[in-house]
Amino acid sequence: MRACPGRVFSVDRGTGYGVSALFGRYLAGGSMAFARAGVVFQDFKTNYQTPAPNAFVREERDFGLRFGLGGRLPISPHLAFRLEYDYAMFGDYMIGPPNGPDRFANNEGAAWFGLTYSFQPSKPPIPAVPGLDFSGPYWGLQAGLGAIASRTTGIRDEGGGPSILTADFSDTGLTGSVFAGYGRTVNRLYAGVEVEAGYSNAAWDHERVPSGSSFTVGKREAFGAGLRLGYVVDGTGMLYGRIGVVRTGFGIGFDRGMNSVRATEHATGLRLGLGMELAVSENFALRFDHTYTPYGTLHLVTPPDGDVESYKTDDNVFSVGAVFRR
């Protein structure tokens, strides 16, 4: 949503319908790593208003392509926990006055957590790993897709005097990290500490050319530490939650006419997450991990008048990794 005297517009997501094919690989004890590909029909309502006033409304069911990746961890003969990330892409469309419409390009990323129920459970095609123990040191690598979102607030001049812009922007990018930790398991309950270092190219940008203000916020390096608490399924895998802190660098840019400024700001956020590790062997596991981190508000002093732009920023990251134990 964007709001200021110049233009006010928003996009609301409605009901969606889809079908997809699932492709999976069984792992130890009946766990599974899988991917999905399919199509989706999604309802979108777009509202657009200019100060004339001219109001435009678009209500359409758009066609999109959906892709996903995830894992399944059985926790009983009938129940399994599922964690997956889906990403859908839709076509562009124009809305607004004939002499200056705007282009909208919608996409959607979502992490899903849930339970699946099997009416007739079958014997796991691959047996559990005997003697599997999540205790001790470990290290690993992971890569994934991250979404960065900001609520932007700043002063604008739309021809009728200064006004306050409030707008929400977001976009996705790739992320990668290395991690290491140590944990102990007691009666299926796990507790451990972990440190990580990573980099992301996730960034959103808003461009108004040839006139107007253009600005962007993007993630860079990140360093974090946290606590993991989990539940171990014998010989199969582990379901866990995480809490910790992360220190992240952000690149911020702002352009207004011939004036341009770039800055780097570091912010600390509280990282919350949920994930699973699926055993492949006694010393190797696949990890599916989703985290959410609010960072608070970033600031940038912009030329030529020294106005302050603020960006209340958070991120969501879904990663797939490889975990190695002694």
Q: What mean pLDDT do residues 271-296 have?
A: 96
Tokens 């190797």: give the residue. 284
Q: How far apart are CA 271 and CA 245, in angstroms?
A: 6
How far is it, in rounded angstroms, from Cα 275 to Cα 286?
Answer: 11
- pLDDT tens per residue across span 146-193: 999 999 887 766 555 567 778 888 999 999 999 999 999 999 999 999
The reported pTM is 0.88
Looking at residue 159, what is its pLDDT?
55
**What pLDDT is recorded for position 155?**
75
Is the CB of residue 232 less than 8 Å from the CB of residue 128?
Answer: no
Separation of alpha carbons 314 and 123, rounded Å: 43
pLDDT at residue number 148: 94
Summarised one tens digit per residue, pLDDT across range 102-136 is: 888 898 989 999 999 988 877 788 899 988 899 99
Of residues 33 and 7, more confidence is placed in 33
Interval 27-51 mean pLDDT:
93
Task: Give the per-residue pLDDT at 118.
Answer: 87
Taking residue 249's Cβ as centre, other Cβ atoms within 10 Å add up to: 16
- Give the start-to-end residue ranges of the domains of the chain: 2-325
What's the whole-number average pLDDT of the chain? 90
- Give the number of residues written for the chain: 326
Whether CATH 1.10.390.10 fits 2-325: no
Burial of residue 111, with CB atoms counted within 10 A of its CB: 0-12 exposed, 13-18 middle, 19 or more buried? buried
Evaluate whether 201 touches 171 at the Cβ level (below 8 Å): no
Find the helix or strand (DSSP H, E) in which 164 lies.
strand 162-186
pLDDT for position 213: 74
**19-33 CB burial, b ≥16 within 10 A, e <16:** ebeeeeeebbbbbbb
Residue type, 118: S
pLDDT given for residue 97 in this prediction: 84
First to last CA, the chain: 50
Average pLDDT over residues 267-280: 97
Q: Which two tokens stand for residue 171?
A: 């976009």
Residues 6+ apart with CB under 8 A from 141: 176, 177, 178, 179, 321, 322
